[in-house]
Structure 1
Amino acid sequence: MTKKPKTPKKQIVARWGFKRLSDQRVDPTLGPADAEPGEQEGDAVPTPSRRPRKPRGSATDIVVGAALEAATTVAVRRRLARGQALAVVVIVPGPAWVAPVAAYVKSEFGSRWCFHTRDGTDRKRDDAGSVEAARDLSRGFCVMGVAYDEKLLPASLQSAADIVIHIASPDGTVVRRAITRFVRRSPGELDPQIAAGLDLPEIVAAFRPDQGAKDVVRRLEAARRSHTGSSERVPVLATAVEYGEAQRWGLDLARDIADFRNGKIAWRDVDRGICLHSPPGFGKSWFARVLAQGCGVPLVSTSAGSWFANGPGFLDSVVKECRKSHALAVAMAAPVSIWHIDEVDAAVPERANMSDRAQEWWNVLVSDILNIVDSALAARDAKLVVIGSCNNINRVDSALLRPGRLEKVVALDPPDAAGITNILAFHLQGELAGEDLAEVGAVMEGSTPAEVMHMVRTARRAARYAGRGLAIADLVYAAMPHETHPPARLFRMAIHESAHAVILLALAAGTVRHVSLASTGDAGGRTSVLYADDDLATRKAIEDRATVGLAARAAERLFTGSVSTGAGGAADSDLGAVTIMVASLHASFGMRGAPIYLGAGEELLRAVALDAGLREAVTHDLCRLERRADRLVAANRDAILAVAARLAEKRRLDGAEVEALVRGRLRGRRRRRPAGEG
């Protein structure tokens, strides 16, 4: 038998143990099934036993090598090994992969490679990079661009690319291969999502020398739980009724993400942009964590404050911090993650309200953030859900809230009794198990989630100081401490709140939820009502509500001989709210005078202050409605006194108790006039 002559060319052995079998050019587009016989993936000739075993290398090299192997075919790896004037683009899962991949390729495939790495933090000019890439290719060098976003690479390299490699976030197969090579022992079958949401440094940190495969797996699972929120105790999305419309949106999102993962729907069918707004203490930032855990996806939270705090505050550093946060969210997507931007009113402020000088600075930042949000929602590879949250939605640039961006805007309202009860159960952490918390929930109704948390802490402290366990009475006392008021003040407070409730029922304008006495500044209590909503508000309905607001002043004047400061002093006081209601008849809804729109909400207070004609018309109506309130209070004197006496005694009455006290005592109820009647 004639021996086959040996090839003089040097055999090249890849770190993963595959040997090049021939020098024949192979089309890089061929997959494993298209390779020549004997060259299928996994069928490569092993390294001869006489050859010394290669060092196992660093954990970073092993993980990168396993991921690169999974993203390429034998044919592609042969072309990389030959290194003959190739232009290659490598898209990696995130910025942290860029430098390690470039270092691995240079170490594995020789020094003829020139690299253009883009992790999004440098300021290299694209035109300069394009010239360099073209020059290196024309000299016969191999040029590789490595980035997490293809748009960051030089244009000449993108257009001339012979090979494009997309390295995905490591799945269970890649992680198992890396663990086996590192510890020389297979961990067995792994969850395909074991490294979901983990960036390269977090994966590498799980690999420790002289420890077993199970130790690596355990650390990876713990790291994954820390990002999905499953290791953090947060309210359960399915029962978090205190979030109202936001909870319903979150439940729909969780179902859509599950359907997307199961291949039932495309990503374009998923709503993925929302902005939450409310006063402080309503749990906006907390909701992002609740949502992440409910959807089982990683969460990356950032804020305008962190962008400025983590750098010198110059424009370029702020932009870099924003991009870094977005890049981290992209890297953690497996394939879905949530990117939460807190203080979005500070990050993307309304430019229309700025001076020309301020616009010069903010236009660059806002435009860049809008482009990043567009990129985040474009869903090329990573699938991102973007959540914005702020205290004042009117300060957010309208361009961010348009369809296609944060198109869903949700206001978080004070939780009702059911929501308060759920918040209580969460903060009690099993204490008072079996007790009915509905009574406490009703007492705390109208409080913010932050206030409920403080009340629970206050109740625990009281029980601890008393040397006993927590009791329902401690929670009730924390919500409504029995403050000692002088008799005159207590009587005025009770009369004030009782008048609101009784006149509401006398006009059949709605229902009373509860009435309570709790001193907060000049305010002596709170009356929670539900106005009738069987139809859109008419002039009659608005004037009835204004009359209810003015009834407390009328009652104070009738029963004490004077009016206190408790009815005014702020835009949300009785007088402030009533002024806005009446002004809206003239300036918002065209129900009094000319059909013209001049504004809405609190801005009407400024319009009333500056427009003499509007001020005169509103004053005339307010005086008329106050006389009406005087008549109704006088007619329902007995009912108001009965409710006030019980309220001063108990400090809180629910709606049913109020209705029972006034039953048969209401007077002065007028016939309902058609809408628009004067």
Structure 2
Amino acid sequence: MTDNNDWLDGLDETELVIEGRLSNERKDKSPQYLLPLALLQHSIGMDGVKQLHDSENFCAIVVTPSPDWTLPLMHLLKPWEWDFVQARVTPLRPSQIADDTSSLRTMDALAMGARVLGIGHDPERLLPSSMRTAADMVVRLPPPNGEVIGAVIKRMCGRTLKVIPNDIAFGLTFDEIVACLRPGTSPTQCIERLKKAVASKRSSSPITQGVPTIHELHGYGDAKTWALNLIEDLEAWRRGEIGFDAIDANVVLASMPGLGKTTYARSLAHTTGLPLITTSVGKWFSESPGHLDSVIKMIDKVFVDAKAAAPCIVFLDEIDAVPNRATISPRGADWWLPVITHLLDKLDGAVNDTTDRLIVVGATNHPEKLDAALVRPGRLDRIIHIAPPTAEDMQGILRQHLGTDLEGEDLTQAGQLAAGASGAPAVSWVKTARRTARSAKRPLQMADLLAAIAPADIRTEAMIEGTALHEAGHAIVADILGIGEVESVSIVIRDDHGGSTMLKFDGFLPTRTAVENLTMQLLAGRAAEQWDDGDVGWINIWDPTTSTSVKLPNWSPIFSQGLSWYAAKMIKEWAEERNQAFHSDTEKAAARVAHREFLLDVMPNAKSIERRRRARQIEPQTRLIPGNQVEIKSVDRDEDRDIPHDTAMARAPEAIPVKKGRSFGGKAGQKKAQETRRSNREQKQAGAVEKDSKPARLPPVSAPKPPTVDLAAIKARVAARVNKKGDGEAA
């Protein structure tokens, strides 16, 4: 910094003004006294300090940078003849609120023309409302910058350095700063101690230990750009060039699992030097009894701790675990709505109140499941999607984990083999390669790394060839249709798929042509497999009975048409047990016919429960008919076959329904059952059984037809009635 005599003279003048009111222990000009005084004058100037010191009938609030500054500032300001001083670090417990008299004492003191002072890092929670409302001056103190530290050093040592970084004490508590500013030492020694303290505190954090900086990360795309902008803005804020409200400090990271969202948050904390508070819905339950009030208190604790450590990063992991109010069940809504509402309220304060100085980062694997209110403008409205790392990204990730191993080696081939995988397995690959080298008692070689990334393939030659055809189909069609740039094509097994084709999209406009082209590209792998008779791909078929995805061979349409996943899997297993060929479409169709013939032969001699189960497996279109027969409509032959099927479902419609009544035990129960059966038989024989069925549905009401008028008939009826009436009168 530039030497500023006016600033230092002001500090001396302030000390002379208040020297008469200081205790003897303060007259030694120790850093415990000089540091809060210098920060106070730097924030409000000499005029503000004099107003704070001399004003009568006056109410002031001093907002400290963090809780550890509350006590030193109280020691500095309390001797300035205040009639009532309220200084708190933690809020009152619910049991103490009823007995708290601070608000009443504030009101009485101000009514008598006295001086009232409140000190705390969070006035809304720590100070009485009457004091906040009636305050004549509110002083918000920022963390000490280079100018404040330089003024203290000059007052202690008689001189200072010309240039002191503004972040020289960033992240240090009040006690840690004071421990570095020692009277009797040179300014250079004080600054060196501060630098070592900051570096030591950053490296000793277990959360950020061993984590690379944001600049060293690879494969994060827009997320890395956002982080670099945040770091630049934080530096500008520390220099006093911008306010905290000018910083874009809130984001949600969305990606598939394993792409390093947690590592990103740790790296961000490590690079910025800010504390990191990690939380999740799982922690709210695991670290509390799990009741509604305890979960809400856990949410409060997270943001209270974050404000106490501010500026701070709050990492909301697995934020999609907070239910979406649009899809939650009515039963779940009764419990979750208070939790969701409370979380949204806390996020409003953290995001919109710049005095809290919080950076909120959310992480989710399912951004589509987030509540709309959670990601609306003004909350976590920025969602950045992290894509799987490209071949170039994987080279950087591998280089980072290799350290000094394989220095100077070209990792292009390794990056291409690893393309499509997440960054998480890279650590395992490097460890496996190093273990291989240790076992061979030699330095690590490129072959060790390549073998770890792409281990020996256990697939048959036909399956490997078919996988290559499948991925080539995706790549060729994408190139022909101009969907995107093909970055890599791999047939290395990764998780649940045997290969991958990586495309780089410049953008996607969902026009009809674009959607049709994308659909063709996605189906191109299946189409390419038709060039060869081999059956090598895999598909996932949803099993509604277990709500899981079942992995099955890539069935041909001739074979799988009309089959359930279970029947298709059963036919494949049946063919493999008999060493029957099951590769080409023709072989699959033949296996289906042979399996049906097998069932038709064994079903007549099977038990009734087995016949009932097997009947549906022969053909999905099985139709039950009255009696004890099942009619099978064959799709491959022109004849029909009947199979005995003795089940309750196939009973005659005139069967007598048996109502379940009250059960009786012993002989009384047996007697009651016999009487019931006898009564039912007699009713059936007599034909007096009342059917226990739903009332017949009324036929649909048709539109009324226009009436047909028969004038001759009407005249005849009228004439007959007239004649009859005349005869009666005559009689």
Partner residue in 1 for 2:318: 343
Provide the C-alpha distance between the structure 1 equivalents of 2:186 and 2:107, rounded to a whole number of angstroms: 47
Q: 1:115 to 1:260 in 2, by over 3 A?
A: closer
Kindly report which structure 2 residues correspond to 1:262-301, keeping only aligned pairs within 5 A, or say none: 270-292=247-269, 296=272, 298-301=274-277
Provide the C-alpha distance between the structure 2 equivalents of 1:350 and 1:148, rounded to a whole number of angstroms: 34
Does the alignment pair 1:117 with 2:88?
A: yes
Kindly report which structure 2 residues correspond to 1:35-54, keeping only aligned pairs within 5 A, or say none: 41=14, 44=17, 54=26
What amino acid is the match of 1:279? M
SS in 1 for 2:219: helix
**Alignment counterpart, residue 307 of structure 2, candidates 304, 307, 327:** 327
What amino acid is the match of 2:526? L
Provide the C-alpha distance between the structure 2 equivalents of 1:220 and 1:360, rounded to a whole number of angstroms: 53
**Alignment counterpart, residue 566 of structure 1, candidates 538, 542, 547:** 538
Q: 1:308 to 1:136 in 2, by over 3 A?
A: farther
Could you tell me whether the CA contact under 8 Å between 1:463 and 1:470 is conserved in 2?
yes
Q: 1:537 to 1:252 in 2, by over 3 A?
A: farther
Partner residue in 1 for 2:221: 244
**Alignment counterpart, residue 496 of structure 1, candidates 461, 464, 467:** 467
Provide the C-alpha distance between the structure 2 equivalents of 1:39 and 1:467, rounded to a whole number of angstroms: 69
Could you tell me whether the CA contact under 8 Å between 2:89 and 2:120 is conserved in 1?
yes
Partner residue in 2 for 1:89: 61
Partner residue in 1 for 2:576: none
SS in 2 for 1:400: coil
Could you tell me whether the CA contact under 8 Å between 2:26 and 2:33 is conserved in 1?
no
Report % sequence identity: 27
**Alignment counterpart, residue 393 of structure 1, candidates 367, 379, 386:** 367
Partner residue in 2 for 1:148: 121
**Alignment counterpart, residue 135 of structure 1, candidates 100, 108, 113:** 108
Could you tell me whether the CA contact under 8 Å between 2:392 and 2:412 is conserved in 1?
yes
Provide the C-alpha distance between the structure 2 equivalents of 1:78 and 1:554, rounded to a whole number of angstroms: 89
Partner residue in 1 for 2:298: 318
Provide the C-alpha distance between the structure 2 equivalents of 1:53 and 1:154, rounded to a whole number of angstroms: 32
Provide the C-alpha distance between the structure 2 equivalents of 1:399 and 1:577, rounded to a whole number of angstroms: 42
- The Cα of 1:376 is off from its aligned counterpart by 3.2
SS in 2 for 1:144: strand
Partner residue in 2 for 1:170: 144
- The Cα of 1:440 is off from its aligned counterpart by 0.7
Q: 1:518 to 1:111 in 2, by over 3 A?
A: same
Q: Compute the TM-score of the two structures, normalised by the length of structure 1.
A: 0.65
Q: Alpha carbon RMSD of aligned pairs, Å?
A: 4.7
Q: 1:338 to 1:446 in 2, by over 3 A?
A: same
Gaps of 5+ in 1: 1-31, 579-608, 610-628, 632-678
Q: 1:451 to 1:559 in 2, by over 3 A?
A: same
Provide the C-alpha distance between the structure 2 equivalents of 1:139 and 1:166, rounded to a whole number of angstroms: 27
Q: 1:367 to 1:216 in 2, by over 3 A?
A: farther
What amino acid is the match of 2:388? P
Partner residue in 1 for 2:614: none
After the TM superposition, which of the residue ranges 170-179 and 526-535 deviates more from structure 2? 526-535
- The Cα of 1:400 is off from its aligned counterpart by 2.0
Partner residue in 2 for 1:461: 435
Q: 1:117 to 1:390 in 2, by over 3 A?
A: same
Provide the C-alpha distance between the structure 2 equivalents of 1:449 and 1:155, rounded to a whole number of angstroms: 51
Partner residue in 1 for 2:405: 431
Does the alignment pair 1:420 with 2:420?
A: no
- The Cα of 1:418 is off from its aligned counterpart by 0.9
Larger Rg: 2
Partner residue in 2 for 1:303: 279
- The Cα of 1:456 is off from its aligned counterpart by 1.4
SS in 2 for 1:413: coil
What amino acid is the match of 1:135? D
Provide the C-alpha distance between the structure 1 equivalents of 2:325 and 2:347, rounded to a whole number of angstroms: 17
Could you tell me whether the CA contact under 8 Å between 2:277 and 2:306 is conserved in 1?
no
Partner residue in 1 for 2:676: none
- The Cα of 1:498 is off from its aligned counterpart by 1.9
Could you tell me whether the CA contact under 8 Å between 2:470 and 2:526 is conserved in 1?
no
Partner residue in 2 for 1:589: none
Provide the C-alpha distance between the structure 2 equivalents of 1:218 and 1:419, rounded to a whole number of angstroms: 38
Could you tell me whether the CA contact under 8 Å between 2:474 and 2:521 is conserved in 1?
no
* 1:490-528: CA deviation from partner (whole Å, max 9, x where unpaired): 422432342342475368356765444444576444454
Could you tell me whether the CA contact under 8 Å between 1:98 and 1:119 is conserved in 2?
no
Q: 1:154 to 1:423 in 2, by over 3 A?
A: same
Provide the C-alpha distance between the structure 2 equivalents of 1:476 and 1:387, rounded to a whole number of angstroms: 36
Could you tell me whether the CA contact under 8 Å between 1:120 and 1:324 is conserved in 2?
no
Number of matched pairs: 531
Provide the C-alpha distance between the structure 1 equivalents of 2:225 and 2:60, rounded to a whole number of angstroms: 46
Could you tell me whether the CA contact under 8 Å between 1:93 and 1:169 is conserved in 2?
yes
Kindly report which structure 2 residues correspond to 1:535-554, keeping only aligned pairs within 5 A, or say none: 536=511, 538=513, 540-551=516-527, 554=530
SS in 2 for 1:441: helix
Kindly report which structure 2 residues correspond to 1:590-629, keeping only aligned pairs within 5 A, or say none: none
Provide the C-alpha distance between the structure 2 equivalents of 1:531 and 1:141, rounded to a whole number of angstroms: 70
Higher relative contact order (CA 8 A, sep 6+): 1
* 1:46-88: CA deviation from partner (whole Å, max 9, x where unpaired): 779xx97757598756644543454455666566667955322
- The Cα of 1:278 is off from its aligned counterpart by 1.7
Provide the C-alpha distance between the structure 2 equivalents of 1:46 and 1:491, rounded to a whole number of angstroms: 92
Does the alignment pair 1:375 with 2:355?
A: no
- The Cα of 1:384 is off from its aligned counterpart by 4.1
Partner residue in 2 for 1:159: 133
Provide the C-alpha distance between the structure 1 equivalents of 2:364 and 2:279, rounded to a whole number of angstroms: 10
SS in 1 for 2:417: helix
Could you tell me whether the CA contact under 8 Å between 1:550 and 1:575 is conserved in 2?
no
Could you tell me whether the CA contact under 8 Å between 1:114 and 1:136 is conserved in 2?
no
**Alignment counterpart, residue 449 of structure 1, candidates 403, 423, 430:** 423
What amino acid is the match of 1:156? S
Provide the C-alpha distance between the structure 2 equivalents of 1:218 and 1:302, rounded to a whole number of angstroms: 32
* 1:129-169: CA deviation from partner (whole Å, max 9, x where unpaired): 54442134335654322232343333321232233222221
Q: 1:496 to 1:439 in 2, by over 3 A?
A: closer
- The Cα of 1:407 is off from its aligned counterpart by 1.6
Partner residue in 2 for 1:479: 453
- The Cα of 1:300 is off from its aligned counterpart by 2.6
- The Cα of 1:207 is off from its aligned counterpart by 6.4
- The Cα of 1:419 is off from its aligned counterpart by 0.7
Q: 1:47 to 1:328 in 2, by over 3 A?
A: closer
What amino acid is the match of 2:106? A
- The Cα of 1:422 is off from its aligned counterpart by 1.1
Partner residue in 2 for 1:224: 198
